[in-house]
Amino acid sequence: MSDLDQNLAKLNQYLARFRGQGIENHIGGKNLPAISGATFNTHSPVDESLICSVAKSGKKDIDAAAQAARNAFPAWQDLQATERRGILHSMADGIEARAEEIALCECWDTGQAVRFMSKAALRGAENFRFFADRALSARDGQVLPSATLMNVTTRKPIGPVGVITPWNTPFMLSTWKIAPALAAGCTVVHKPAEFSPVTARILMEIAEDSGLPKGVLNLVNGFGDEAGKALTEHPDIKAIAFVGESKTGSMIMKQGADTLKRVHFELGGKNPVIVFEDADLERALDAAVFMIYSLNGERCTSSSRLLLQDSIAAEFEGRLIERVNKIKVGHPLDPATELGPLIHKTHFDKVTGYFETALKEGATISAGGKQIGESGYFVAPTLFTNASNDMKIAQEEIFGPVLTALRFSDEWDALEIANEIKYGLTGYIWTNDLTRALRISDRLEAGMIWVNSENVRHLPTPFGGIKASGIGRDGGDWSFDFYMEQKHIGFATGSHKIPKLGI
Ligand code: NAD
């Protein structure tokens, strides 16, 4: 039996119960259908086959989940931090124990290749462990004495929060939000993306098996304009942690205005990788290829704009074309596959639409630019060259395995091209000139910058974007700043003079 066949056999076992029961909501410790009884079907992007039916929730389901989260909040916030830590470590154990199931189901649900998804499942466990250990210091504050007062600060969890996640690496991204929220002492209502509901359900089961009290984590499935919108408008939900498109972030901000919702946004990106002539070109090539063609290019931090210095551009592009044409497109459950199918038809149409746009705009399709196969949403890894920065293919987030190469003459030209865009999530700089790296990284408009490196995750560092790429930071202590309220308390140290009125 081939590795692919073995994975398919295992997947069928894992999916059997979803196929039978569908995916329900989980509210206050109970599996529940949508109150209206409505469901929708989720399909695999591999062959468009039905995976299962999913609860299609609305405002009433969100009301029930928000109430469950509100009821569970006092006891959860008052639980000893060591106990919260223990439960979150148990969740990490549970994720590790079910990592294969999570990876295979996620591949089938999203089209992501198993070579990446097996690591993504384990990263979910790392997220839980990291924030579990930090639960002990989440409430720590400062002592800021003044002449008359002993001023202290402390942090308290903000309350029940909403977590809204997208369909690209949905499991890992949901743990990135849910783990710090729980560690801080918040309760959660999670609305996963409608296109990838399977692993959110598995996470819920792991939470229950780990002894997470009922109502602390609630799962409500459904569409953004219905369930998602109701969550962002709910008065009992004190904050929304959202990962998704910039335009959805903008809608959520409006929807949350009446209830003065605190928001944390991780949004889109069109990230530059800038390669100077003095760089280690071999490593720069590896990193550029990896950062756009791994995870199907459906990655917010992908290096989707390649900026090449004129003197090395032609040769670099030549070598890039060779590599791109050799990328193995195939079944996501085949361990040899590097690129799987795109998540769904609408997204497939969006990504392939840019092939025509590129030609209309006068760019060259130097690799790919076509669908692969007749069923499923497979596209060839694609490279656009002869592009300029004013083209849509250089400005818009395509969110697929599509790279736009641009050229620059010197540092200032590179910076101008890199910064002339609405996004500001990540930037990658390749140079062996230290002072240049310092100059460029200082001026590059991005929340996260790597010099001579691809994106390498380090959980204590701040993760997030500027401009249209986001508001707020995750990671380290920054996550707790979002999920918690700062409180100041001043204790008089003596009998300081209090102004007397009305005497
Ligand atoms: P999306 O914005 O379409 O959907 C994300 C989630 O928002 C889904 O759960 C959806 O149901 C919900 N939603 C949609 N409309 C809503 C509304 N009006 N109110 C409340 N919720 C609503 O995004 P997507 O297509 O699922 O994901 C891809 C996008 O996510 C890309 O732009 C990508 O760059 C971005 N992303 C960013 C990061 C980051 O860290 N910056 C990470 C991953 C993905």
- Residue 441, pLDDT score: 98
> Between 21 and 423, where is the model more confident?
423
- 314 has pLDDT over 90: yes
Contact residues of ligand 1, CB 6 A cut-off:
164-168, 173, 191, 193-194, 223-225, 228-229, 232, 243-245, 248, 251-252, 255, 266-269, 300, 397, 399, 425, 465, 469-470
Say if 3-267+469-488 and 272-451 have the same CATH topology. Answer: no
Handedness of CA 268, 416, 384, 454 (dihedral sign): negative
Domain assignments of the chain as residue spans, ordered by start: 3-267+469-488, 272-451
Average pLDDT over all residues of the chain: 97
Residue ranges in 328-391 assigned as alpha helix (H):
345-361
Name the pLDDT band for 160 (thresholds 50, 70, 90): very high
Q: Which CATH architecture has domain 272-451?
A: 3-Layer(aba) Sandwich (3.40)
Note if 397 is an active site residue.
no
Residues 200-216: tens digit of each pLDDT = 999 999 999 999 999 99
- Residue 374, pLDDT score: 85
Distance CA 207, CA 401 (A): 34
Average pLDDT over residues 300-324: 98
- Separation of 496 CA from ligand 1 center, angstroms? 54
- Residue 424, pLDDT score: 98
Count of beta carbons in the 10 Å neighbourhood of residue 2: 10
- 217 has pLDDT over 90: yes
Percentage of the chain surpassing pLDDT 70?
Answer: 100
Name the pLDDT band for 46 (thresholds 50, 70, 90): very high
- 100 has pLDDT over 90: yes
Average pLDDT over residues 401-409: 98
SS3 content of the chain, % helix, strand, coil (to 5): 45, 20, 35
- 362 has pLDDT over 90: yes
- Residues 187, 161 contacting (CB under 8 angstroms): yes
Dihedral, CA of residue 193, residue 134, residue 481 and residue 463, to nearest 10: -60
Distance CA 34, CA 26 (A): 10
- 245 has pLDDT over 90: yes
- Residue 322, pLDDT score: 98
- Separation of 102 CA from ligand 1 center, angstroms? 21
Q: 3-267+469-488 — its CATH code?
A: 3.40.605.10
Angle, helix 99-110 to helix 114-134, in steps of 10 degrees: 120
To test the pocket of ligand 1, the residue of 42, 220, 300 to mutate (highest count of ligand atoms within 8 Å of its CB) is: 300
Nearest CA, atom 18, ligand 1: 225
Distance CA 134, CA 353 (A): 45
Parallel/antiparallel/unpaired status of strands 470-471 and 262-266: antiparallel
Dihedral, CA of residue 244, residue 473, residue 136 and residue 67, to nearest 10: -40
Residues 3-20: tens digit of each pLDDT = 999 999 999 999 999 998
- Residues 125, 103 contacting (CB under 8 angstroms): no
- Separation of 302 CA from ligand 1 center, angstroms? 16
Nearest CA, atom 12, ligand 1: 224
Note if 266 is an active site residue.
yes
Nearest CA, atom 28, ligand 1: 244
